[in-house]
Amino acid sequence: MLHSALYIAKAGAKGKGVFTKAYLPANMIIEVAPVIVLSKADRLTLETTKLYNYVFEWGNDVSKGAIGLGFVSMYNHESPSTCEYIMDYRKQTITVKTMRPIAAGEELTINYSAGWDDWKPVWFTEAKE
């Protein structure tokens, strides 16, 4: 499930990102994306490629990886973020939900390192626009 207002566009120095054409209220599920689950060995191999920045840690012990389909791997990082993501290991999905009202034209972001409003260092230098 992908909300019909979402689209991919240039996000300045961050490359591409996910945006909305319409107002989105807080606490709205905007995407339920299937994932491709990777074994620990496949995750380690993939992390030696350009896809490293698109792999989610997966599983209760985070030893596996997952590639999110839909738009889920295209959300840029921000802390606090405009959205949060919830992983369902059994269903092999990632759900994205808004955390506050979002205006039309605004970029949707997730926090790569923790909960939507937690701050922890990330593995890359955040680009400043």
Residue range 76-85, pLDDT digits in tens: 998 889 999 9
Instruction: Report the distance separating Cα 41 and Cα 46, nearest Å.
Output: 9
pLDDT tens digit sequence for 101-122: 999 999 999 998 765 455 555 4
pTM of the entire predicted model: 0.85
Report d(CA 61, CA 41) in Å as an integer: 14
Q: How far is CA 3 from CA 18, 23, 29, 33, 36, in A?
A: 11, 12, 8, 11, 21
Domain 6-110 has CATH 2.170.270.10: yes
**Sign (positive or negative) of CA dihedral 127, 73, 114, 30:** positive
Task: Give the span between the Cα atoms of 114 and 48, in whole angstroms.
Answer: 23
In the chain, domain spans = 6-110
